[in-house]
Amino acid sequence: MRCKKMVLSGLIVLSFLLGLASASVRAQSVDPAEAKADLQRAVDGVLAIVRKPEYKDPAVQPGLMKQVEEKIYAIFDFTAFTAGTVGPRWRNFSQDEKTRLTDAFADLLRATYLSKFEDYNGEDLLYTGESVKGDRVEIATVIRTTDNKQIPMIYRMAKRDTWVVFDVVAEGMSLVQNYRTQFQDALIKESPDQLIVRIKEQADRVRARKASQ
């Protein structure tokens, strides 16, 4: 009996040690340098486009903006962004609702943020550090404007086939948290279809303001 207990104890200890070893392997697999390289590759690709002399040509810019969009879509996980914005209710949505809601949020982000690239004026992105948060990575950066203002930004990234961005913290404000706060009542009270309509309406208002400037 004592022998069996010793064997059982030994197996428990062995399982524990194997668990630690497995956790160690997983921790080691999170490479912040790899995440930074994937982010930098996407950012460099965008900057290479917006720095072209012909970028300011109204006849050429729409086509170049399409290329910018493609590069941002490749590095940004809009599904994870939308799930983070919706919160726990996300698991109750159908796949069709998740897809349409993700498309609506992606359109809102495109209207709100991607249009800013139309006015690119030589800003630089400086990389200031990386940190590991469990199986996620945060890449700290600073946008340096042409008049030497510095705007801190943190890219929160997760590993898929490559590293992708699922949230951005600009001057201390999380993009995901910002939109969750904006749509908090809607996320609690409204159906997915109602929320999709609300998001599309906000995207339309953003485009209307842009067009009137």
Tokens standing for residue 161: 């086939």
In which element (H, E) is residue 191 found?
none
Q: What is the pLDDT of residue 85?
A: 93
Residue 56 has pLDDT above 50, yes or no: yes
* CA gap 122, 143 in Å, rounded: 11
Same domain, 2 and 65: no
Q: What is the pLDDT of residue 3?
A: 43
Same domain, 17 and 98: no
Kindly report the average pLDDT of the chain as a whole number: 83
Same domain, 14 and 43: no
Same domain, 128 and 190: yes
Sorting pLDDT into bands at 50, 70 and 90, what band is 4? very low
Same domain, 121 and 36: yes
- Whole-structure pTM value: 0.80
Same domain, 46 and 126: yes
Same domain, 66 and 132: yes
Same domain, 176 and 96: yes
Which CATH number goes with the domain that contains 114?
3.10.450.710
Number of domains the chain contains: 2
Provide the percentage of residues in the chain whose pLDDT is more than 70. Answer: 87
Same domain, 55 and 142: yes
Same domain, 54 and 140: yes
Same domain, 53 and 94: yes
Residue 196: which of 86, 41, 64 has the closest Cα? 86
Write the pLDDT tens digit of every residue in 176-202: 999 999 888 888 888 999 999 999 999
Same domain, 16 and 45: no
Residue 5 has pLDDT above 70, yes or no: no
Write the pLDDT tens digit of every residue in 7-40: 333 333 333 333 333 333 344 478 899 999 999 9
Residue 208: which of 73, 112, 67, 91 has the closest Cα? 112
Structural domain including 166 reads 32-212
Residue ranges with strand state E in the chain: 124-133, 136-144, 150-159, 163-170, 173-174
